[in-house]
Amino acid sequence: MRLAIIGAVLLVAGGVAVATGLLPWAEVGVLVERVAPIMGFVVAMTVVTELASDAGVFQWIAGRLRHWGRGRSYALWLLLAVLAILSTIFLSIDTTAVLLTPVVVTVTRRAGLPVLPFALATVWLANTASLLLPVSNLTNLLAQHSLGGITPAGFAALMWAPALAAIVVPLAFIAIVFRRDLRRSYARIPVTRIKPDAGTSSASRQTSGAQSTDPVLLPATAVVLVLLLPALVSGIPLWISASSAAMVLLVLFAIRRRRSLTVKLVPWSLLVFTSGLFLVVEATRYIGLPQLVANVAGQGEGFFDLLRLAATGALGSNVVNNLPAYLLVEPLAGSPLRTGALLIGVNAGPLITPWASLATLLWHDRLTRMNVLISWRGYALFGLIVVPLTLVAAVALLALAVGSA
């Protein structure tokens, strides 16, 4: 509700900018044309992952991850990290936040392990592992357009080195800081004996997937998710692939579990918030903000020039949000190398404030639904350490990889 209220205020502010002529209608049309498919993708993927959770996909995954961890916290943590990386790369940052968070909370609670190091790895990797493919992050989709429609392979060739750094640095930090928690062991239980948590609320069971399993919905939903993966990297517009998957699942649930089809499947608060944020940021282009940002972002393609640009993107992301921050700084990129540095900033940099990326907000929403409390103060302090280390490592590898190509 709070997010919706903030979004409503931003929408009103954007409407005032349009009504007073500060933001021309023509620019609003251009913004809508560019952003609407992206928001459609977010809505469709949210519906897909919500229904996948309801079908019990998360419960199935959680049971097997706990079994494969063989009673060792480090092994379980690494399995979840690999899952987060793959999910982010192929399903996108926001999908990982929605899809994987219930798995993390469910499996760690059942194993009697502290949730924080597992949940923190999930949200950090949802952001930092999103540098490899266009589908990995909505900012990448915007960058793909500005790079002349570069292919997924070409995009990966540009970003593979910084993507590797952006994965390793946060994981190393968590492994060091939470080393005592990750050395713990837990009881091994055969997969066939893993049952839903007793005593949880209906809402919690729905979020975690801990409910009766429909013998048709579970495998059918899993098939839809598996088929969706290649579709998302096939070159078909993402909103079409995601919407098709959502429609298939909506039909399945209309037949097998109609009670799950509610208006709450659509992330209304996020839509209102994001729409208002885009309008306000677009309006700032006409009050001299781009000139101020240009003075901060600098020029050139040397290491420190690229690091300066990445830092500008990270700062903008944590002040407003990574999507509008990218749109604001994008005109200052001007080359594939500088665009890559900007993507490092807006993808790997939003680890300090809760609103820095939609993924973080989605992640926190899932934790709240499952009664997991996170200290934003502690989150910010960790981020203030990890972000600079990640930016330096990723920008250095970007410069080296492109320079040696």
Q: Report pLDDT digits (tens) over 123-164.
A: 999 999 999 998 899 899 889 878 887 888 889 999 999 999
Q: How many domains does the chain have?
A: 1
**What is the pLDDT of the chain when averaged over all its residues?**
85
Is a pLDDT exceeding 70 seen at residue 195? no
Beta partners for residue 72, in sequence order = 185
Task: State the Cα–Cα distance between residues 28 and 31, nearest whole angstrom.
Answer: 5
Q: What pLDDT does residue 191 have?
A: 52
221 and 252 Cβ atoms separated by less than 8 Å: yes
Which among 211-220, 294-303, 311-320 has the top mean pLDDT? Answer: 311-320
Residues 224/249, Cβ–Cβ less than 8 Å: yes
Q: Quote the crossing angle between the two packed helices 289-297 and 322-329, to the nearest 10°.
A: 90
pLDDT value at 21 more than 80: yes
How far is it, in rounded angstroms, from Cα 333 to Cα 345?
Answer: 12
Question: With pLDDT > 90 as the criterion, what percentage of the chain qualifies?
Answer: 39
> Per DSSP, which regions of 91-180 are E strands?
none
pLDDT value of position 176: 96
Q: Which domain holds residue 247?
A: 2-404
Report d(CA 116, CA 391) in Å as an integer: 23
Q: Which of 331, 290, 390, 357 is nearest to 139 (CA)?
A: 357
pLDDT given for residue 287 in this prediction: 77
CA pair distance 354, 96, nearest whole angstrom: 16
pLDDT at 189: 63
Q: Provide the pLDDT for residue 84.
A: 92
Report CA dihedral (221, 227, 228, 230) to the nearest 10 degrees. 160
Task: State the pLDDT confidence band at 307, using cuts at 50, 70 and 90.
Answer: very high
Contacts of 62 (CB under 8 A, 6+ apart): 103, 106, 107, 110, 194, 208, 209
Neighbours of 328 (CB within 10 A): 21
Note the pLDDT of residue 405. 60
- The pLDDT-based confidence of 300 (bands split at 50, 70, 90) is confident
Q: How many H-runs (helices) and E-runs (strands) does the chain carry? A: 19, 0
Is the confidence at residue 255, as pLDDT, over 90? Answer: yes
What number is the average pLDDT over the span 222-240? 84
- Side chain identity, residue 78: L
How many other C-beta atoms lie within 10 A of the C-beta of residue 90? 18
Q: Which residue has the higher pLDDT, 191 or 68?
A: 68
